[in-house]
Homo-oligomer: A and B are copies of this chain.
Amino acid sequence: MSGGELDPAQHGLGDMDPEDLRAHGHRVVDWIADYLAGVGERPVLAQVAPGEVRDRLPEAPPDEPEPFEAALADLDDILLPGITHWNHPAFHAYFSITGSGPGILGEALAAALNVNGMLWRTSPSATELEETVVDWLRQLLGLPGDLRGVIVDTASVATMVALAAARERADLDVRQRGLAGRPDLPLLRIYTSEEAHSSVEKAAITLGLGRDGVRTVGTDEQRRMDPTALGAAIREDVRFGYRPIAIVATIGTTSTTAVDPVPAIAEVRDELVEELGHDLWLHVDGAYGAMAAIDPELRWVLDGAEHADSLVTNPHKWLFTPIDCSVLLLRDVEVLTRAFSLVPEYLSTDDGEVTDYMNWGVQLGRRFRALKLWLVIRYFGRHGLQERIHHHVEQARHVVAWVEKHPELVLMAPAPLSTVCFRAEPDWVPDAATGEDDDPRARAHDECNRRWLDRVNASGEAFLSHTDLDGRFTVRLALGSLHTTDERLERTLSVLDRELAALRP
């Protein structure tokens, strides 16, 4: 374009031509189908050394366009060896998740539409499908109809946003005046169990409450929050001048999947609200565990959740949706939008009674995550989801039975959902040298389990992670992937057996 003349041809200044996109797209779909058909034969945990992948990538971007095929070839040659395969049937680390077929296709469609659902008008279907699909999820979980929902990226953000709403509802004028340099403000506190996810503490740091703004409450022998200790902690804090603003209960802790007793916690909250004469927000972190409630046999995990002010659960964890997709359900939407709403003129609209999701949180840009969740729920249906979740819990029971039957293994925690914590405590492990530790035998077992886990993961045949329970190194085996057949799980248990036996002197 020169001299004000417009050239109707784009001179190659456009996007990939739709016919090229079609051709490359078919190749990509075949790649994906082949990948998923064969991923089970790859090493689960990437077997590369730090820097190995980076060293094979050019240090500088290419000056000229490269054929799409070249990038696909590099995906195979350079990147795949450094991928830890989360969609692998023997991925049992952290939480076992699935980027399912309908979810993958949903991501591709969302990227093609590329809408930003910040306002209703910037894509009414994005907003209204989101409203619909989060309500479907609410129904699947058996939660009350006065909860409304929003999709965010992660539970960390959902919990932060919920706690920001709690902070706003404390009527301390935080939105306007902030927290710093205000002698009128007390110390603010959030209460959660010592088993809670680090996102609670991270939210407290971000929100300006600091790590001191979180008081952790003790748990019972099953690692569930102790409601009596919760009440005592809050009352003690109040005597010392703290202002309690929120309680975070967990449905399915990350370490052992413990389920906090939400009915009793809600009762303590209600008593305290009466006593203190001010609000106390109850947030439920069900990022992983809440999905269990889709199975009627496990609906008990959400007992009491109807008393919560907010609840987060992640379809990208146990609902077969590619990351990221986290749903925050809450009752008092007004306080959330009061906390976050800032509408500059260039975004002001006259649409009146519509939902503008940009006012529900920190992020202005919002991709069309509802689409993949909608496709997943439709493709599997309520019963399909229910059966799959049920099956994962049965698989976990099978692992528990295997552990209990195994002469050298010890179950380290109850396994109410789909994750099992255990460790090897074989007789044949020689005592560790006596040291500062008062239990050289336990220390020797720690080392044995560490070596066992390293061997299993290095084999590439399965990937498990660990946790620490009362100072003891503990192996975690998480179920929840649609790719984990019973047969493959059997094979993984054999690998565990084999690698433990290999440690025997």
Which of B180, B201, B316, B378 makes the CB contact (< 8 A) with A186? B180
In the complex, A54→B468 CA distance in Å? 47
Contact yes or no, A33 B10, CB < 8 A: no
Asked, given contacts A202-B342, A322-B114, whether A60 binds B210 with beta carbons under 8 Å apart, the answer is: no
Asked, given contacts A46-B124, A352-B50, whether A86 binds B112 with beta carbons under 8 Å apart, the answer is: no
Question: A455 CB to closest chain B CB, in angstroms?
Answer: 15
Question: A7 CB to closest chain B CB, in angstroms?
Answer: 5
Contact yes or no, B212 A178, CB < 8 A: yes
Contact yes or no, B179 A186, CB < 8 A: no
- 7 pairs from A and B in contact (CB 8 Å cutoff): A29-B108, A57-B132, A85-B115, A99-B113, A116-B323, A180-B208, A199-B364
A417 within 8 A of B: no
A277 within 8 A of B: no
In the complex, A164→B482 CA distance in Å? 39
Contact yes or no, B6 A487, CB < 8 A: yes
Contact yes or no, A486 B1, CB < 8 A: yes
Contact yes or no, B94 A346, CB < 8 A: yes
Q: In which size bucket is the chain A interface?
A: 35 or more
Q: Which of A31, A181, A377 has the most CB of B within 10 A?
A: A181
Binary contact readout A348-367 vs B (1 if CB under 8 angstroms, 0 otherwise): 00011110000000111101
In the complex, A97→B334 CA distance in Å? 32
Which stretch, A11-19, A223-231, A427-435, touches the partner chain B? A11-19
Asked, given contacts A16-B379, A28-B105, whether A365 binds B206 with beta carbons under 8 Å apart, the answer is: no
Question: A365 CB to closest chain B CB, in angstroms?
Answer: 4
- Chain B residue numbers with a CB within 8 Å of A377 are 61-62
Contact yes or no, A181 B175, CB < 8 A: no
A459 within 8 A of B: no
- Chain B residue numbers with a CB within 8 Å of A322 are 110-111, 114, 367
Question: A101 CB to closest chain B CB, in angstroms?
Answer: 3
Q: Which of A352-397 contact B (CB under 8 A)?
A: 352-354, 362-365, 367, 371-372, 374-375, 377-384, 387-388, 391, 394-395
In the complex, A363→B157 CA distance in Å? 6
Q: Which of A46, A103, A180, A382 has the most CB of B within 10 A?
A: A180
- Chain B residue numbers with a CB within 8 Å of A121 are 45-46, 84
In the complex, A25→B104 CA distance in Å? 9
- Chain B residue numbers with a CB within 8 Å of A100 are 15-16
Question: A25 CB to closest chain B CB, in angstroms?
Answer: 3
A126 within 8 A of B: yes
Which stretch, A148-156, A260-268, A303-311, A441-449, touches the partner chain B? A148-156
Q: Which of A267-290 contact B (CB under 8 A)?
A: none
| Chain B residue with the shortest CB-CB distance to A481 | B15
Contact yes or no, A70 B378, CB < 8 A: yes
A63 within 8 A of B: yes
Q: Which of A186-201 contact B (CB under 8 A)?
A: 186-188, 197-199, 201
Binary contact readout A450-477 vs B (1 if CB under 8 angstroms, 0 otherwise): 0000000000000001111000000010
Question: A56 CB to closest chain B CB, in angstroms?
Answer: 9
Asked, given contacts A61-B377, A101-B21, A115-B83, whether A128 binds B53 with beta carbons under 8 Å apart, the answer is: yes
Contact yes or no, B21 A36, CB < 8 A: yes
A300 within 8 A of B: no
Contact yes or no, B60 A136, CB < 8 A: yes
Contact yes or no, A61 B160, CB < 8 A: no
- Chain B residue numbers with a CB within 8 Å of A495 are none
- Chain B residue numbers with a CB within 8 Å of A160 are 206, 362
Asked, given contacts A21-B32, A108-B32, A346-B467, whether A339 binds B205 with beta carbons under 8 Å apart, the answer is: yes
Which of B126, B183, B353, B374 makes the CB contact (< 8 A) with A183? B183
A250 within 8 A of B: no
Question: A99 CB to closest chain B CB, in angstroms?
Answer: 3
In the complex, A208→B177 CA distance in Å? 8
Question: A264 CB to closest chain B CB, in angstroms?
Answer: 25
Question: A133 CB to closest chain B CB, in angstroms?
Answer: 8
Contact yes or no, B105 A107, CB < 8 A: no
A337 within 8 A of B: no
A219 within 8 A of B: no
Contact yes or no, A16 B101, CB < 8 A: yes
Contact yes or no, B46 A379, CB < 8 A: no
A505 within 8 A of B: no
| Chain B residue with the shortest CB-CB distance to A471 | B345
Contact yes or no, B8 A485, CB < 8 A: yes
- Chain B residue numbers with a CB within 8 Å of A238 are none
Contact yes or no, B57 A363, CB < 8 A: no
Q: Which of A2, A113, A381, A468 has the most CB of B within 10 A?
A: A113
